């Protein structure tokens, strides 16, 4: 962002207008961050405002993103297209919006941990704080930013509920809080005395700040490494496992949709493809061949 503003001064005005539009529309801070990051990349690539690019330059850039040796993540490509589309909408440049490609919904199935693997990962960290971070991601199905923004006032030990404030889409929801988590959280709060946020981050000024995204990712990465589990585990893997295990344990799909905070049931239905459900558990023919 700073490099883009320094290299192309007019980009600062674009960012401020983007920031205002995102705020007024009620979109999340992460949306602004993702759009601004991708727009600053294209600004630095051409050394000019993205508003000055013609259709051929835009398509050439998207082609480079798709074809260069070190392919960017699908998320980066997607947010580049979405960011440009949103920017053109703000500036009423409908002609440029038309040339942008449609983003198809990914058909990849999520990585899901078995119940045994969840137990293995949860017991790996030595620090109680780190074990609680993993346990909340799994036990409450939280997104990374929802965990980071969790405040002490959101914990209701009497009603055994956790209040997720302003989740994705600015939606609030309540999720059940496990007795095991309550015991762990009470021990942690008594020992660590966190301020405001359940998990405080480090700030050189001494000001209370929430734990950073990188901090949460580091905890997950270290737990995965020391657990010996070969699966690609991310913060979102615990949320996927939460939904799948609830489905396998008999909870209905509509209740799971509400617990996850999904706006569309189609998003939740993906777990029907990974959960082991049905009258007879799926099996390999090799098991029957040699039984």
Query: Catalytic residues, which ones?
Result: 143, 168, 236, 239, 262, 271
Angstrom distance (rounded) from CA 178 to CA 132:
12
Residue 224 main-chain phi, psi, to 5 deg = -65, -45
For residue 277, with 0-12 CB atoms within 10 Å meaning exposed, 13-18 middle and 19 or more buried, which class applies?
Answer: middle
Sign of the dihedral defined by the CA atoms of residues 168, 174, 176, 182, in that order = positive
Angstrom distance (rounded) from CA 226 to CA 250:
32
In the three-class reduction of DSSP (H, G, I as helix; E, B as strand; rest coil), residue 10 is classed as helix
Tell me the H-state helices in the chain.
2-7, 10-25, 29-46, 55-67, 74-90, 94-99, 115-122, 128-139, 144-148, 179-192, 213-227, 235-248, 253-260, 265-268, 285-289
CA torsion 14-165-188-242 (nearest 10°) is: -100
Helical (H) or strand (E) element with 173 = strand 173-176
Residue among 134, 126, 148, 143 at smallest CA distance from 178: 134
Angstrom distance (rounded) from CA 10 to CA 51:
10
């Amino acid at each position: 962002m700073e490099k883009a503003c320094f290299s192309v001064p007019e980009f600062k005005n674009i960012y401020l207008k983007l920031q205002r539009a995102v705020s007024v529309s009620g979109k999340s801070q992460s949306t602004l961050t993702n759009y601004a990051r991708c727009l600053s990349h294209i600004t630095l690539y051409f050394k000019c405002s993205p508003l000055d690019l013609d259709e051929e330059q835009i398509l050439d850039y998207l082609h480079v993103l798709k074809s260069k040796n070190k392919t960017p993540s699908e998320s980066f490509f997607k947010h580049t297209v979405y960011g440009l589309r949103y920017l053109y909408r703000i500036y009423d440049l409908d002609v440029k919006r038309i040339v942008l490609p449609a983003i198809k919904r990914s058909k990849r199935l999520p990585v899901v941990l078995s119940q045994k693997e969840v137990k293995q990962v949860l017991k790996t960290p030595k620090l109680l704080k780190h074990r609680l971070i993993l346990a909340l991601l799994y036990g409450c199905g939280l997104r990374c930013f929802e965990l980071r923004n969790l405040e002490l006032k959101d914990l209701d030990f009497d009603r055994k509920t956790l209040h997720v404030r302003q989740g994705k889409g600015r939606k609030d929801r309540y999720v059940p809080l496990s007795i095991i988590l309550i015991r762990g959280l009470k021990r942690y709060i008594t020992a660590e005395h966190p301020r405001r946020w359940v998990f405080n981050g480090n700030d050189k000024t001494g000001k209370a700040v929430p734990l950073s995204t990188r901090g949460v990712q580091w905890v997950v990465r270290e737990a995965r490494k020391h657990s010996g589990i070969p699966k690609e585990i991310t913060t979102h893997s615990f949320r996927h496992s939460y939904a799948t295990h609830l489905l396998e344990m008999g909870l209905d799909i509509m209740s799971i949709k509400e617990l996850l905070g999904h706006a569309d049931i189609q998003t939740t239905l993906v777990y029907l493809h990974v959960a082991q459900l049905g009258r007879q558990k799926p099996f390999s023919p090799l098991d029957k061949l040699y039984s």
